[in-house]
Amino acid sequence: MAKKKQIGRRVEGWKAKSWYKVYVPEAFGSTPIGETIAADSANLVGRVMSTTLGEIAQDFAKQHIKMKFKISRVAGDAAYTEFIGHELTKDYLRSLVKRRTSRIDSHIMGSTKDGKRIHLTVTCYTLIGANSSQIHAIRNVISAQMATFVAQNDWATVVDGIVTGSISRDMLAQVKGIFPIRRIEVIKSKIESKVIIA
């Protein structure tokens, strides 16, 4: 004979949990990005929340930038986060690929002035196809400039340079003297630390 489901006990479990509103860091306007539930607020610390820069800034043109935030502290029913990385959507990246051109990926590991260890993926899109020596030269310039930028700035400045596109524009100005370049994007960033995925 099948056992009856203990619905009452499950309902009581949900009632024992509380909802917490999650906020992005002050650098992004301290806006709420949603809610999460937990029986104990201590269990929220380390939880990862995802949204887009378009949702945060209320700007549809930035919907292709996916943002990740980790809850770092809880006060009352508010959970506050820190930025831990971003990634551009696959659809957006596909739209940048053109025939008879080159895509050049560079992977940079570095530490900011305030000790944040980060991994960055920078992609360069050329106007015409590049040969192996040109690709090598472009990758070297991008890697060197990005490593210097990370080492000379704190995490907040690095994040601002990534999400506003200012560091991409600076790199473009340097690289286009070597070869015709259409666009440079920091397509992914990640702070190197262990996190708990919600």
pLDDT tens digit sequence for 119-154: 999 999 999 999 999 999 999 999 999 999 999 999
In this predicted structure, what is the pLDDT of residue 13? 61
DSSP codes joined into one string, the chain: -PPPP-HHHHHHHHHT-EEEEEE--GGGTS-EEEEEEESSGGGGTTEEEEEEHHHHHT-GGGTTEEEEEEEEEEETTEEEEEEEEEEE-HHHHHHH--TT--EEEEEEEEE-TT--EEEEEEEEEESS---HHHHHHHHHHHHHHHHHHHHHS-HHHHHHHHHHSHHHHHHHHHHTTTS-EEEEEEEEEEE-S--EE-
pTM passes above 0.85: no
CATH 3.30.479.30 fits domain 90-192: yes
Domain boundaries, the chain: 18-88, 90-192
pLDDT-based confidence at 67, cuts 50/70/90? very high
Give the tens place of pLDDT for each residue, 71-109: 999 999 999 999 999 999 999 999 999 999 999 999 999
